[in-house]
Structure 1
């Protein structure tokens, strides 16, 4: 739903797209003496002492509640909390449904979205982005003893379990697989483990989370896409001062090893690079 595979070229587009136009978020519509909008997004966050973060709260392992109703936690939650600490401000989370999260950002309800937002050319036209803090690929997951599938081409004529509304369904179909419709990852991986389908195609982060939680001793990754998805924090268009300050914080967290530590906690590997 949230991730879509793109090439690294998108980062070039981001660099070109940076501008000084303010549009909602932490910034205001203040006008400089020359009549152009000013970017006070970072100053506004410092003045308030709070970084307001839009997130779902229902997207494990990125943003969710412990036990379903406990404390908000997750990979994205911990990363943005560490970023806010570097900025010297508190964090206030505003939970909202995915379908409304970007409208909330544009309306200024929050300063940043922390919800595994994939960087795409279309989104770059509408929002500012931080440097990526998560990288992932598409993977083919099969039973550990299966040697008949080692590439996406090998899915031709094989059965895969896929949610019909996901990008992975389209990728499996393009690869020539016979699709068995399921509601989500839990059903698809169960069918693979039971030997009722040959494989399932999904995001590497989903598999890593499942492996971290269960061990996934009977499964393996048989193939990986060449393209990768790059996920970052999203800001209102024009809030470049805040976005670049977050970049600095992420760089410091990378250098100190804190970002890798958070990643290993949730995925067992460093997905931040």
Structure 2
């Protein structure tokens, strides 16, 4: 029985895995014919077995998680993948991995794809194939209510302490502006928030939607979203092997159908408190220059 996971927010959702090199993707020919054959082979394999195996964490609220007192995994990402598989006429099997193991599981061939609020980055695009985005967001920052942790702009992060995962995009952003990152194990979100409240850390960078939900779930902790800082626009997509262009084409077509018929909007509003994360935000969001992700 999975309990107490309803408000878990693992601050690791965009961790870049340096160990996941393209060498594990398989030996593909440099000519176009070889590439096309590899692509067709992956999709043909999935069709032949009639099943797609997808990796997810099961601990990332509200993308992939177990509601309290339930053994049935759900979440925005999980329900999107269920709908995609159904429309493709495939059985769906989820395999659960820690965030740091998801991309390596694709490389090893243990799974066919990953869906876990995985951010599309240039570095990852060199190693993997991504679907069209199903979620658009940006980064925000949780700070103390009393003084905004002394932060007015991103340049004020120098010398301050960030709470997060060691391998995340969010920690890279914090360290780019001169902050140190205090890392955690597998802890619930209230631990992160209370450390900001009591001064053990100064701020937490993470996804806007996830941080909004975390604060709503834990209203008694005296922290808040920074009112002025919106930065690093992000896209989340389904991750596939580097040679899976046919698979991408099939999945993209279904995602487009789901966008046009309102399914993505409906699922987003269900899991993100009435907000539509399937559409690009209209806010003025700062791009961070000089940071290679």
Q: Would you say 1:152 and 2:151 are equivalent positions?
A: no
**Superposition pairs of residues 1-80 of structure 1, within 5 angstroms:** 1-3=12-14, 37-38=37-38, 39-67=40-68, 70-80=71-81
SS at 2:116 equivalent: strand
- Asked whether the 8 Å contact 2:56–2:96 carries over to 1, the reply is yes
Equivalence for 1:14: none
**Superposition pairs of residues 1-273 of structure 1, within 5 angstroms:** 1-3=12-14, 37-38=37-38, 39-67=40-68, 70-143=71-144, 146=147, 149-155=151-157, 160-163=161-164, 165=166, 166-175=168-177, 181=182, 183=184, 185-193=189-197, 199-214=203-218, 219-268=224-273, 269-273=275-279
Distance 1:131 1:251 in 2: 8
- Asked whether the 8 Å contact 2:43–2:246 carries over to 1, the reply is yes
1:75-117 Cα offsets, whole Å, 9 max, x none, are 2111111111221222111223333333332333222111222
Q: What runs of 5+ residues in structure 1 fail to find an aligned partner?
A: 6-22
Change (3 A) 1:91 1:216: farther
Deviation, 1:144, is 5.1
Change (3 A) 1:214 1:236: same
Change (3 A) 1:258 1:146: farther
Which is further off, 98-107 or 130-139?
Answer: 98-107
Deviation, 1:246, is 0.8
Change (3 A) 1:104 1:225: same
- Asked whether the 8 Å contact 2:194–2:221 carries over to 1, the reply is no
Change (3 A) 1:161 1:97: closer
- Asked whether the 8 Å contact 1:4–1:229 carries over to 2, the reply is no
Change (3 A) 1:92 1:222: same
Deviation, 1:242, is 1.2
Deviation, 1:58, is 2.7
Change (3 A) 1:4 1:225: farther
**Structure-2-length-normalised TM-score:** 0.69
Equivalence for 2:283: none
Q: What runs of 5+ residues in structure 2 fail to find an aligned partner?
A: 1-11, 17-24, 280-293
1:142-184 Cα offsets, whole Å, 9 max, x none, are 3556576443234457x5552362543443354456x684636
Aligned length, in residue pairs: 246
User: Which protein is richer in strand relative to its size?
Assistant: 1
SS at 1:141 equivalent: strand
Change (3 A) 1:68 1:240: farther
Deviation, 1:247, is 0.7
**Structure-1-length-normalised TM-score:** 0.73
Cα RMSD after superposing both structures = 3.3
Which is further off, 223-232 or 247-256?
Answer: 223-232
SS at 1:93 equivalent: strand
1:185-226 Cα offsets, whole Å, 9 max, x none, are 433322444577664333323302314534579623323343
